[in-house]
Structure 1
Amino acid sequence: MSNNYQHHNNYRGSSTSQMNGLRPHHLQNRDCGDDGDCFRRGGGANRLTNGYSVKPLDNVAVPDMCIFCFEVLDCELNNVEAPGTPKFTNDAYPLFVTWKTGRDKRLRGCIGTFSAMHLHNGLREYALTSALKDSRFAPIARDELPKLTVSVSILQNFEEAHGYLDWTLGVHGIRIEFLNERGYKRTATYLPQVATEQGWDQTQTIDSLLRKGGYRAAITPETRKSIKLTRYRSQEIQMNYKEYREVLERRAQYGKVQC
């Protein structure tokens, strides 16, 4: 199994997963175009970061990825044969799968990996891992399915930042490496949407992420400056259970429903 990374609803706790198989790179002076798809978040058009344009994202995330995650979990909870091979791309990317519940979309599970995984197996694995093995929550039960929303985040464009403020709110996710008060190396991450959802500025985000990663001492300007920060971007797509069932009903008309 690939190295896991949890995404927290209260944005606290520790995480020590390593970013394997990825090579952070410095900024390229290129424009980023808006892909125009209302399902996707975390894109943005012509955004600048400290005077540099951010690279365009690969156009990867599609609704079928959410459908597939729901199918995998639905079949697992109903003891039905797992769905077959999906039709979306099987290219390799780091990814997260997030489950939320209820109208207020409370976090129910979120685990991902910074290792690039082929998307068919990666989403199959993390749809279940995030739903059933997130240590912060009890496993999702079958009767919870109608209340669920799933989000798939495809991570791209990893870049080594030039300081702890060298990233843009609402555009970049961030992963930090630091030494805790005992001298041990720790890491922690927030996906791009976290800071804006919480209403944080950059410094508040960094301080929260240090606490999430297990830093317990006083946070000083020197602490922040000592951080090694890698920023990344994400295409996120989401779907609720009602939308998923509507897709299954349409498929059933053609004899393609599996769960």
Structure 2
Amino acid sequence: MAAGCCGVKKQKVSQDSHHNNGYRLSLYPINGVERRLVVSTEMCCFCFDVLYCHLHSFEQPKVPRFTNDPYPLFVTWKTGRTRRLRGCMGTFTAMNLHGGLREYTLTSALKDSRLAPISRDEMPRLHCSVSLLTNFEDAKDYLDWEIGIHGIRIEFVNEKGSKRTATYLPEVAREQGWDRIQTIDSLLRKGGYKGLVTNDVRRSIRLTRYRSEKMTVGYAEYIAHRNNNNYQYKHLANGCTSKVL
């Protein structure tokens, strides 16, 4: 099932990052042990490829070179210098990355109900983020998570007795300057809760925390990446004459 998320700003790449055959690889610690990121620049570029081909009625890109392992994932589109949100959708069901990124590239760009579909004229101003979700854990309570480290997914019963869910990716609370209670209250509202938010309501929440591997690529970096690699759609890299903002 598709889920919406709040947009996030561009992530700075760690100084431990390096490039390998067009992939941006980073090391980050989980429980004190460094592991290599799966998410890559190529995944974001593939999302740009898929959206560009769809908007221009070109044949869709061939199978990409990155791993096709299954992950829960989100694709986020932002625009301009202020990184205004233009779409963010994803799934908590693990999907093979080739098909999952292809599907949620278009779902997030064209079917986010909060926003108008992205048009072809917007392409030069876009930034694409791919988030792969990992390390899911059941929290002890609604406060059992850390800002800037965990994303959270809540399940709750609204004032009409209906079960609802909502999620924020790990970056959201920190970017908004929220504490944990403010984040929970905002997430309840996002999920459609319209009643008074009390401590009893908060305590009734079932919360799952998770982590995210995230990569962001802007349009200019996308074009440069495609020009520097043997690319099947040279007209995407060479034929786009719109000004990059």
The letter for the 2-side match of 1:122 is G
How far does the alpha carbon of each residue in 1:142-182 deviate from its partner, in whole angstroms, 9 at most, with x for none?
Answer: 11000000000000111000011111100000000111111
Per the alignment, residue 103 of structure 1 pairs with: 81
Per the alignment, residue 6 of structure 1 pairs with: 4
State the secondary structure of the residue aligned to 1:95.
strand
Which of 197, 205, 224 is equivalent to 2:175? 197
Which of 121, 128, 135 is equivalent to 1:157? 135
2 CA distance for matches of 1:185 and 1:234?
25
User: Does the 8 Å contact 1:173/1:233 carry over to 2?
Assistant: yes
How far does the alpha carbon of each residue in 1:179-215 deviate from its partner, in whole angstroms, 9 at most, with x for none?
Answer: 1111111111000000001000001000111111111
Q: Using a 3 Å threshold, how does the CA distance of structure 1 residues 45 and 55 change in structure 2: closer, same or farther? A: closer
1 CA distance for matches of 2:232 and 2:192?
47
Cα distance, 1:40 vs structure 2? 8.1
The letter for the 1-side match of 2:16 is G
Query: Which 5+ residue runs of structure 2 have no aligned equivalent?
Result: 9-13, 19-23, 237-245
User: Does the 8 Å contact 1:55/1:157 carry over to 2?
Assistant: no
Which of 112, 116, 119 is equivalent to 2:90? 112
1 CA distance for matches of 2:94 and 2:33?
19
Cα distance, 1:250 vs structure 2? 2.0
Q: Using a 3 Å threshold, how does the CA distance of structure 1 residues 54 and 130 change in structure 2: closer, same or farther? A: farther
Q: Using a 3 Å threshold, how does the CA distance of structure 1 residues 131 and 9 change in structure 2: closer, same or farther? A: same
How far does the alpha carbon of each residue in 1:23-46 deviate from its partner, in whole angstroms, 9 at most, with x for none?
Answer: xxxxxxxxxxx99338789x8646
Give % identity. 56
Residue 233 of structure 2 corresponds to residue 257 of structure 1: yes
Please give the TM-score of this superposition, normalised by the length of structure 1. Answer: 0.81
Q: How large is the RMSD of aligned CA atoms in angstroms? A: 2.3
Which of 16, 21, 35 is equivalent to 1:36? 16
Per the alignment, residue 73 of structure 1 pairs with: 51
User: Does the 8 Å contact 1:158/1:231 carry over to 2?
Assistant: yes
2 CA distance for matches of 1:55 and 1:255?
36
Cα distance, 1:257 vs structure 2? 3.3
Per the alignment, residue 225 of structure 2 pairs with: 247
2 CA distance for matches of 1:61 and 1:204?
30
1 CA distance for matches of 2:186 and 2:231?
49
State the secondary structure of the residue aligned to 1:89.
coil
2 CA distance for matches of 1:139 and 1:57?
37
User: Does the 8 Å contact 1:160/1:230 carry over to 2?
Assistant: yes
Q: How many residue pairs are counted as aligned between the two chains? A: 225
Q: Using a 3 Å threshold, how does the CA distance of structure 1 residues 55 and 205 change in structure 2: closer, same or farther? A: farther
The letter for the 1-side match of 2:54 is E
1 CA distance for matches of 2:113 and 2:217?
24
2 CA distance for matches of 1:255 and 1:244?
12
User: Does the 8 Å contact 1:70/1:244 carry over to 2?
Assistant: yes
Residue 123 of structure 2 corresponds to residue 125 of structure 1: no
Q: Using a 3 Å threshold, how does the CA distance of structure 1 residues 174 and 106 change in structure 2: closer, same or farther? A: same
Per the alignment, residue 187 of structure 1 pairs with: 165
Q: Give the structure with the larger strand fraction.
A: 2
Q: Relative CO higher for 1 or 2, CA cutoff 8 Å, sep ≥ 6?
A: 1
How far does the alpha carbon of each residue in 1:117-164 deviate from its partner, in whole angstroms, 9 at most, with x for none?
Answer: 000000011111111111111111111000000000000111000011
1 CA distance for matches of 2:166 and 2:129?
20
State the secondary structure of the residue aligned to 1:129.
helix
The letter for the 2-side match of 1:37 is S
Q: Using a 3 Å threshold, how does the CA distance of structure 1 residues 155 and 190 change in structure 2: closer, same or farther? A: same
Please give the TM-score of this superposition, normalised by the length of structure 2. Answer: 0.85
